[in-house]
Amino acid sequence: MEDRRLWSRRSVLGMGAGVLGAAGLAACGDSSDSSASVQPDVPKELLDQAVSLKGSSMGVLSQKLYSATANDALDKSISKFADSTGTKIENSLVQADAGDVVAKIDAEVKGGVARDLAFMTDSRFIAQFHALGDLEDVTDVVKALTAKYGEPCAEAKNFCVFDGKWFAIPYHFIGIGSFLRKDWMQEKGIAPKDVYSWEELRDLCLAISDPGKRRFGWGLTMNRSGDGNGVIEALINAYGGSIASNDGRKVTFNSPETVQAVTFLGDIYTNPKYKPMLPPGVASWTDTSNNENWLAGILGYTRNSFSVYADSKTKKNPVYENTHVFSDCTGPATDKSLLLGQSQGFVVFKGAKNAALAKLLAQYLVSGPALVGVAKEAPGLVMPAWDKVWDADPYFTGGDPSFPLLRTMSQQPLPLKTKNGLAFPQKASAGQQAVVAAYVLTDMMQQVVQGTAPAQAVTAAHAKMVQIFNQQGLPQ
């Protein structure tokens, strides 16, 4: 039986979502004194600071991007930095959608064998690692980057800061969006819009479906997956419900607003009226399934990070030219989309053996020259996290028609508020992040699909959330 430990070798790259693995790729620097080994796009101030670290080594843990070529571009940037500084850096990949990633990395930190530097999605992981005491204060790095590149993306200020101190360094902004087949819409005489309510979108997806032509409008799953979690939480928020209170400390899930949202969503998967718009096998999809089906041209709508859009563009898939991009849907409690996007944040783990080199590498990788190579392989999925980096290369502003939307999303004033007093982003909460990681939302929807009354399923999910918050040190 193949070894499925947390960290394995590069062969793990070909595995699907749900398998947690790392792929070691040594980026061994040249220890020669030759100036030819110094790359011109590594800032001189970083090279000067790295002089005393020459000959040292460190490990990096990278959250695996959907695009293999983007992962390779990141490897090249790390190799470039290692060559320039005369250091040795090993980069490993981690599949973050395996539910036990936090526990396994925490065990490595506590055991003194964790990588020095890692980047992880801020809204999903940083609060959990901070609550476990696994992170070093990196406020000094963020202050230095702010002086050079201006302000970081708005949502990162919520998810990376605790008690006024930064525990993650914003790396790159992750575009999240909704995608419709505008050619299918045109055939039905439907003009695309920039804003839809969830009810409007549901009806549109049914209208453009045609199972006989292998056209299925609704490309979303309720199965255990990051995508399933994302759409469920987004829809509940738009209806005025939330996992927790705005301060992130109290479970508030069981509310009339949440029940209304779960009822609406459950109806899509159980009402025979909507069966024509559900693709075959949607109940068992994993995180890559909607990407694969979208790229195969059989979906009319999906909601995803920009990985699916990036893949269609870089691989010249005809779906790209027929994609209408919009932000997200509104609900009864909202006048505008609550979509914030996300960002990857660099963290330095407690006990890091080469924290100084880790901090210098992070400062290099957020810069325009290092980021643009990765961004071009993952359009919209990897975008600048810092104001001035957006203008560091023409690609970031003009590389795709969707980029202005993403820049606005990354820099929009926050919080975004609902009519009933919720404010997003809510305060970063280890409890909320642990609830999402435990797939309480998708498990709840599975119960509804199997016949449990929405109110009953919400009540049961609320009870599970209370247990998880208590375990995270947030007594209810």
Query: CA nearest 341: which of 431, 412, 244, 435?
Result: 412
Say how far apart CA 397 and CA 372 lie, in whole Å.
11
Neighbours of 289 (CB within 10 A): 21
Torsional sign, CA 320, 321, 326, 328: negative
Q: In this model, does residue 19 exceed pLDDT 70?
A: no
pLDDT band at 32 (very low <50, low <70, confident <90, very high): very low
Q: Model's pTM, two decimal places?
A: 0.85
With a pLDDT cut of 90, the percent of the chain lying above it is 85
CA distances from 438 to 295, 457, 469 (A): 29, 16, 12
Q: In this model, does residue 34 exceed pLDDT 80?
A: no
Phi, psi of 7 (to 5 degrees): -115, 115
Over residues 306-320, mean pLDDT:
93
Q: In this model, does residue 190 exceed pLDDT 80?
A: yes
Instruction: Check if the beta carbon of residue 395 is closer than 8 Å to that of residue 324.
Output: no
Average pLDDT over the chain, rounded to whole? 90
Question: What are the tens digits of pLDDT across the range 325-369?
Answer: 998 899 999 999 999 989 999 999 999 999 999 999 999 999 999
End-to-end CA distance of the chain: 43
Residue 65: the pLDDT is: 83
Helix, strand, coil percentages (3-state) for the chain, rounded to 5, are: 45, 15, 40
Q: In this model, does residue 313 exceed pLDDT 60?
A: yes
pLDDT band at 3 (very low <50, low <70, confident <90, very high): very low
- Where are the extended beta strands (E) located within 258-414? 299-305, 323-326, 342-348, 383-384
Strands 416-417 and 423-424, by their bridges, are antiparallel
pLDDT band at 99 (very low <50, low <70, confident <90, very high): low
Residue 40: the pLDDT is: 41
CA dihedral 97, 62, 427, 250 (to 10 degrees): 40
Identify the H or E element spanning 176. Answer: strand 176-181
Q: In this model, does residue 155 exceed pLDDT 70?
A: yes
Question: What are the tens digits of pLDDT across the range 431-471?
Answer: 999 999 999 999 999 999 999 999 999 999 999 999 999 99
Q: In this model, does residue 37 exceed pLDDT 60?
A: no
Instruction: Check if the beta carbon of residue 218 is closer than 8 Å to that of residue 205.
Output: yes
Say how far apart CA 406 and CA 327 lie, in whole Å.
9
Q: In this model, does residue 472 exceed pLDDT 90?
A: yes
Say how far apart CA 390 and CA 150 lie, in whole Å.
10
Residue 98: the pLDDT is: 67
Q: In this model, does residue 8 exceed pLDDT 70?
A: no
Instruction: Check if the beta carbon of residue 217 is closer than 8 Å to that of residue 208.
Output: yes
With a pLDDT cut of 70, the percent of the chain lying above it is 91
Q: In this model, does residue 250 exceed pLDDT 50?
A: yes
| CATH topology (fold) of 10-174+342-400 | D-Maltodextrin-Binding Protein; domain 2 (3.40.190)
Which residues have C-beta within 8 Å of that of residue 393, sequence separation ≥ 6?
368, 369, 372
Say how far apart CA 433 and CA 429 lie, in whole Å.
6
CATH number of the 176-339+416-471 domain: 3.40.190.10
Instruction: Check if the beta carbon of residue 338 is closer than 8 Å to that of residue 238.
Output: yes
Over residues 95-124, mean pLDDT:
91
Residue 383: the pLDDT is: 97
pLDDT band at 292 (very low <50, low <70, confident <90, very high): very high
Residue 95: the pLDDT is: 81
Residue 66: the pLDDT is: 74
Residue 111: the pLDDT is: 97
Identify the H or E element spanning 165. Answer: strand 165-166
Say how far apart CA 293 and CA 307 lie, in whole Å.
13
**Domain boundaries, given as residue ranges, for the chain:** 10-174+342-400, 176-339+416-471
Q: In this model, does residue 205 exceed pLDDT 60?
A: yes
Amino acid at 327: S
CA distances from 383 to 13, 157, 176, 296, 402 (A): 23, 17, 11, 26, 11
Identify the H or E element spanning 49. Answer: helix 44-50
Q: In this model, does residue 47 exceed pLDDT 80?
A: yes
| Residue 217: CA count within 13 A, CB half-sphere | 22
pLDDT band at 97 (very low <50, low <70, confident <90, very high): confident
Amino acid at 12: V
The token duo for 430 is 């280890």
